[in-house]
Amino acid sequence: MKILETKNLAIPEIKVIRFARFNDERGYFTETFRKSDFNTLPFLKEILFLQVNESCSKPNVMRGLHFQWNPYVGKLIRTFQGHMVDMVLDIRKNSSTYGKIIAYNMPSKPDFNYGEWIWIPPGFAHGNFFLEATVIEYFCTGEYNPHCEAGIMPLSKDIDWSICDVAMKKQFDLVVKNGVFLSKKDKEGLSLTQWAADPRSKFFSI
């Protein structure tokens, strides 16, 4: 795996890992994951992934904002094909960025000479929206436990967008305006204020 660069986003615990694709007239080849190379990255060195998920979404679908405990789940996500915008909300009480959300643009086309992972450690609610038919893959540090999960509704008015990339916030607003599709479960997600009052929110304190 050839790692080209890593970078912090506006919430520095959220990392992006860019890796090389090797293109020629046939198409491309790439290694998307090699444990020994990930071990060179301090934030992933001790991480063990236990579950791999794949998701396909239609245009204007929005998912999230989800989080888990018992076990806590970190997520390493990439766009396999299509156009995803990933969203990350800080739910760590006492964090300087608590209640703030960021969004990162993650398109992927066959002719790109790179791919990207985004790393989201425990303590953050995660979601995404899609600008075209898209397939994504994500590695998880814990196995899914349906009894220990919750969600914050991504359209909640009390989410703080002040540190989000302006272009991504405009794209979010456009998707909503054009008729966003949310599952029933996600529509019934909590507001940030409701979650803060929930006794389970103490599981995400720093």
Give the tens place of pLDDT for each residue, 14-45.
999 999 999 999 999 999 999 999 999 999 99
Strands 22-24 and 27-29: antiparallel
> Which residues does 124 contact at the CB level (< 8 Å), separation at least 6?
11, 13, 14, 67, 88, 89, 90, 91, 92
Beta bridge partners of 57: 134
Per-residue pLDDT reduced to its tens digit, 107-153 = 999 999 999 999 999 999 999 999 999 999 999 999 999 999 999 99
> Which residues does 144 contact at the CB level (< 8 Å), separation at least 6?
51, 68, 73
pTM, entire model: 0.95
Q: How many domains does the chain have?
A: 1
Q: Is the dihedral of CA 170, 118, 3, 26 positive or negative?
A: negative
What is the CATH number for 138? 2.60.120.10
Quickly count: other Cβ atoms within 10 Å of residue 174's Cβ. Answer: 12
CA angle 194, 57, 128 (to 5 degrees): 40
* Catalytically annotated residues: 66, 138
Give residue 14's domain range: 3-204
